[in-house]
Structure 1
Amino acid sequence: MQIGKLPNEVLKKAVFNNIKYKRKEVIQGAAIGMDNAIIDFGDNICVMSTDPITGATKDIGRLAIHISCNDVASSGAEPIGVLLTILVPPNTTEDDIHYIMKEAGNASKELNVEIMGGHTEVTDAVNRVVLSTTVVGKQRKEKMLNPDNIKVGHKVLMTKYAGIEGTSILANELEDYLKDKIDKSQVEEAKSMGKFISVVKEGIICGEIGVDYMHDITEGGVLGAVWEGAMAIGKGIKIYEHLIPIKDVTKRIAHILEIDPYRLISSGSMLIITSDDKVPIIEKRLKLEGIKVTVIGEVIEKGVYVEKNDNIEEIVPPYSDELYKALSILN
């Protein structure tokens, strides 16, 4: 099988079809394009998400906290606590674990989130450090997002830039490979993009405004997130490539590594679907926080498409992220 998330058809057949029992308290369970499980607690809901870090070896303590908190924020919820599992190979040192936890502790402080517990183990079942986080968030029930409200013509937006996480990981992991192919300043710019990886702030703000759907843009990049979003809302989406905000350094690195930057993991960007009247409100609120937001398309009756160079192409389901293709250079 290809490295990365399971293809959606395999996910349905091998995973979802084997979930046999449902409870009435679980308002939202496993589904394509839905980042979280949601549990009914009366006037409040509990929003939960879990994620591993497998594609990076540097800054993984920080990444682990941010990635899962981003998922919870895609429901408009406030993350409050994290359970952190750390699996390390036998050659790991105590200093390595100390550094991972120092990063994780600093990231959780930034986000006002407590590391509530977890598990730490040395095992020969892994050949490098693997981190997995489960995040718990809270939200008032009346603030739940409702994709059923989405109509044809609703706008599709994204925050920040395409390929944020992927650009940062590639610059950190492949610095020696890239340093004689692009300027040192570009390498440093790419490495620093990791500081923009959180979408918690925009998630909470857009949840308060009352958007209809959000999806953290992770594996599969912008195109993958758009396809998953269309599946989640049960309608079509059309986007425009020239409207997708992307840094020149991301394009440059993608060109060198022969990968598609629009299918590169992009934690740090949030996909948002909302009605026309809320777009200026979102733009104003996020601008006050220094967060770039761009309208990149709209909801259509059916089909998932991207228009580029005056041609309309169908967006296919996400496959193994371009990150893994690029990292194969290390091997």
Structure 2
Amino acid sequence: MKVGKLTSDQLKNLVFSTLNTRRSEVMVRPNVGEDCSVIDFGEYVCVMSTDPITGTSEEIGKLAVHITCNDIAASGVNPLGIMLTIMAPEGTSEEEIKKIMLDASNEASKLNVDIIGGHTEITTAVNRIVVSSTGIGKERKKNILNKEIPKDKDLIILTKGAGIEGTGIICFEKEEELTNIYGKDIVSEGKRLLDNISVVKEGIIGGKVGVSFMHDVTEGGILGGIWEVCDLYNLGCIINKDKIYINNSTKVICNHYNIDPLRLISSGSMLIGVSSEKFEKLKLEFEKENIHYSIIGEFTKDKEIFIENNGVKYIVDPPESDELYKVL
């Protein structure tokens, strides 16, 4: 199989098909495009998500906190705690472990999130540091049950832009090469994108407004995330490529490595579905918080997924291995 997360078909056939136990307390179960599981605890629910950082060893403590908190926020819920598992190869220094934890602790503090446990070990099972993060949030059950789902003509919103996380990772991992060719400014700009990978703020706003869906963009990029959402809700969509913002450093890096920024891992971007009636409220809240966004398309009921470029429509294929792995 290819490097990266499993394809949607592989997940369905190899993973989801093996899950037999279905306890009544579990309200939301694993599915393509589903960021979190939800467990019933009476008046409240527990919202949980888990993710590893495998594509880089740079800024790994920071990334581990944000990718999981972003998933919780995609449910419109404030993350309250995370657990970290660190698997490090032989030869890892104490200073490296401490830096990971200091970075993670600093980012968690910014989000008012508690690191509540985990596991750390040195092992021959890995050849670079891998961190896996599990996040937990708490919400009233009525707020989860009353959520809307996307429908025909709902607008599709993208916050920030394409390829945010991937650009930052590549600029750290390939810093010397890129600096020699494009100079320090482009590389520094790309690295700074990792300071913008939290979508907790827009997630909480979306939850209050009552949007029809939220999905934070990770492996597979913008087009992968859109495909997963359409698959989950059995809808189609038309996306306007010109409306998707791409940072200058992202353009430079993607052109250099001949990779597609729309299929590059992009934590820091949130895909949001919202009815036209609720859009103005969402717009006002985003403007208050200086959150950059754009309307990139809308859902359709015909179940076909298109991206339009210069008046020509192209079918969006299911996500495969992220473009990041072509570089690293």
TM-score with structure 2 length normalisation? 0.97
Instruction: Report what 1:141 is aligned to.
Output: 141
Q: For structure 1, which runs of at least 5 residues remain unmatched after alignment?
A: none
Instruction: Report what 2:11 is aligned to.
Output: 11
* Cα distance, 1:249–1:145 mapped onto 2, change above 3 Å: farther
Offset at 1:169? 0.4
* CA offsets 1:139-169 (integer angstroms, 9 cap, x no match): 1222227676422111000101111100100
Moved over 4 A (4+): 145-148
* Cα distance, 1:42–1:219 mapped onto 2, change above 3 Å: same
- 2:267 is paired with a residue whose SS is coil
Write out aligned runs for 1:68-107 (5 A): 68-107=68-107
Write out aligned runs for 1:155-166 (5 A): 155-166=155-166
Instruction: Report what 1:225 is aligned to.
Output: 225
Instruction: Report what 2:297 is aligned to.
Output: 297
- 1:188 is paired with a residue whose SS is helix
Instruction: Report what 2:307 is aligned to.
Output: 306
| CA distance in 2: counterparts of 1:93 and 1:138, whole angstroms | 36
| CA distance in 2: counterparts of 1:146 and 1:214, whole angstroms | 15
- 2:147·2:210 contact (CA, 8 Å) conserved in 1? no
Write out aligned runs for 1:249-328 (5 A): 249-301=249-301, 302-327=303-328
* Cα distance, 1:72–1:290 mapped onto 2, change above 3 Å: same
Q: Residue type of the partner of 2:312? A: N
* CA offsets 1:239-275 (integer angstroms, 9 cap, x no match): 1100111112211110000000100000000000010
Higher mean C-alpha deviation, range 130-139 or range 39-48: 39-48
Offset at 1:98? 0.6
- 2:72·2:135 contact (CA, 8 Å) conserved in 1? yes
| CA distance in 1: counterparts of 2:161 and 2:124, whole angstroms | 38
| CA distance in 1: counterparts of 2:145 and 2:222, whole angstroms | 21
Q: 2:200 matched to 1:203?
A: no
- 1:145·1:207 contact (CA, 8 Å) conserved in 2? no
| CA distance in 2: counterparts of 1:5 and 1:148, whole angstroms | 28
| CA distance in 2: counterparts of 1:81 and 1:98, whole angstroms | 20
Offset at 1:281? 1.2
Q: Residue type of the partner of 2:35? A: D
* CA offsets 1:41-70 (integer angstroms, 9 cap, x no match): 122111000000000111100100110000
- 2:181 is paired with a residue whose SS is coil
Instruction: Report what 1:172 is aligned to.
Output: 172
| CA distance in 1: counterparts of 2:145 and 2:131, whole angstroms | 29
| CA distance in 1: counterparts of 2:177 and 2:318, whole angstroms | 31
| CA distance in 2: counterparts of 1:228 and 1:178, whole angstroms | 32
TM-score with structure 1 length normalisation? 0.97
| CA distance in 2: counterparts of 1:87 and 1:183, whole angstroms | 34
- 1:186 is paired with a residue whose SS is helix
Instruction: Report what 1:126 is aligned to.
Output: 126
| CA distance in 2: counterparts of 1:25 and 1:284, whole angstroms | 37
- 1:35 is paired with a residue whose SS is coil
| CA distance in 2: counterparts of 1:222 and 1:39, whole angstroms | 28
Paired positions, count: 327
RMSD: 1.1
Q: Residue type of the partner of 1:83? A: M
